[in-house]
Every structure is written in structure tokens, then in C-alpha cells.
């Protein structure tokens, strides 16, 4: 069953989505070529800390993600007490969904999903979605890349170009592999 891009896919998520008037555009009034990404209106608040998540669809390392989020949560409680954390993610399987679930379950963070509109934009949907998330702004970008993470690397570079600080979290097995080669630090963003 195919869903229209302006309707929520899951009925359980209906209450978290804004009303139809709050969507960025009404795709029914535009031709297919003129459509803008019909993403959910961002949850912007003065007291919000926006965390952009990008990662591989093959990411499976819960422990590395949990350790990174524990450190971030401790840091946020010290530096920004009382701020609500909004997790901005691409709603893709793997690191995006894991981060959203972990953030809402363990820390009470609010999620802001931005699914790619594959039926409208085809192969360009992922990069358009990444650019859209970056253009909404964030205080920090957590990246969970693997070697073959093309979309993740695109989002990382787009975030870095706009001045968003990017922190790369490597899975533990990758760090062990780098240590065996004599590299103690994970690769820098400039090397990617």
C-alpha cells in the first residue's frame, strides 16, 4: 500500500504531526515538478537544543550510540539545563530510527522525523531530505557512519559547510580495526 507524502504513515504518529495548515506546502495545488519537500514543520522553540542525527542504514551498535548519548545528556544538563532536546532525523532504518527510539525512551527527548519523499524525487530524495534537515538548523550533528554510508557523508559535509558542529561516532569494531592499524583517533571530517 502506497501512502501520499502529506499524510502520516502510522496512525500512532498522528498526534505528533502538526495540522494540515502547518505543513510547508500543499502538494495538491502544485504540479509534480513544482513540489517542494512537504516535510513536517520544525519544532522550533527558544529553549530547544536541536540535535541532527545522520547515520548508516546498516548501523547496529547500540552500545556506541548509548555511550555517546549518555555523554551528550550529561553535557547538556551541565551546559544547558532545562533545554528540551529535539532529535532531528531522516526517519530511515538503522541509526536514525535507533537514535530517535533511544532518545525518546531513555532521555525523554522529542523527535522530529523528516522522511525522504522517494516517490516524488526518486534518487535525489535522500540528498534533498538531508539538505532540508540541515537548512532547518541544529546546534550539533551526531554522525554514525560506516564505510559505505554515502548519504551520511553527504549530510555530514552539508552540516559542516553551514557551520553545524559535527561529531563522528564510530562503531566499536571500527575503532578496534583502526587501533590494530596504529591509528588511535577516528578519521577527521576533512579526510572523508
Q: What is the CATH number of domain 46-191?
A: 3.40.50.450
pTM passes above 0.75: no
- Of 106 and 80, the structure prediction assigns the larger pLDDT to 106
Sequential DSSP letters for the chain? ----TTS-S-GGGGGGSPPGGGSS--GGGS-GGGPPP-PPPP---TTEEEEEEEE-TT---HHHHHHHHHHHHHHHHHHSTTPEEEEEE---TTHHHHHHHHIIIII--EEEE----HHHHGGGHHHHHHHHHHHT--SEEEEE--TT-HHHHHHHHHHHHTT--EEE---HHHHHHHHHTT--SPPPGGG-
Highest mean pLDDT among 4-8, 12-16, 145-149: 145-149
Tell me the per-residue pLDDT of 88-126, one tens digit each, with 9 for 90 and over. 999 999 999 999 999 999 999 999 999 999 999 999 999
Amino acid at each position: 500500500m502506497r501512502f501520499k507524502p502529506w499524510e502520516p504513515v502510522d496512525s500512532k504518529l498522528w498526534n505528533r504531526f502538526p495540522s494540515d495548515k502547518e505543513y510547508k506546502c500543499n502538494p495538491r495545488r502544485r504540479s509534480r515538478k513544482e513540489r517542494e519537500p512537504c516535510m513536517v514543520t520544525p519544532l522550533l522553540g527558544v529553549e530547544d537544543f536541536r540535535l541532527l542525527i545522520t547515520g548508516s542504514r546498516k548501523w547496529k551498535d547500540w552500545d556506541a550510540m548509548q555511550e555517546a548519548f549518555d555523554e551528550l545528556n550529561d553535557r547538556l544538563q551541565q551546559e544547558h539545563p532545562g533545554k528540551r532536546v529535539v532529535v532531528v532525523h531522516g526517519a530511515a532504518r538503522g541509526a536514525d530510527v535507533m537514535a530517535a527510539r533511544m532518545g525518546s525512551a531513555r532521555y525523554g527527548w522529542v523527535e522530529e522525523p523528516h522522511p525522504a519523499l522517494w516517490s516524488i524525487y526518486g534518487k535525489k530524495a535522500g540528498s534533498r531530505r538531508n539538505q532540508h534537515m540541515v537548512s532547518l538548523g541544529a546546534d550539533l550533528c551526531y554522525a554514525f557512519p560506516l564505510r559505505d554510508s554515502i548519504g551520511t557523508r553527504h549530510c555530514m559535509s552539508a552540516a559542516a559547510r553551514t557551520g553545524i558542529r559535527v561529531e563522528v561516532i564510530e562503531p566499536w569494531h571500527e575503532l578496534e580495526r583502526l587501533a590494530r592499524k596504529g591509528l588511535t583517533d577516528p578519521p577527521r571530517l576533512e579526510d572523508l
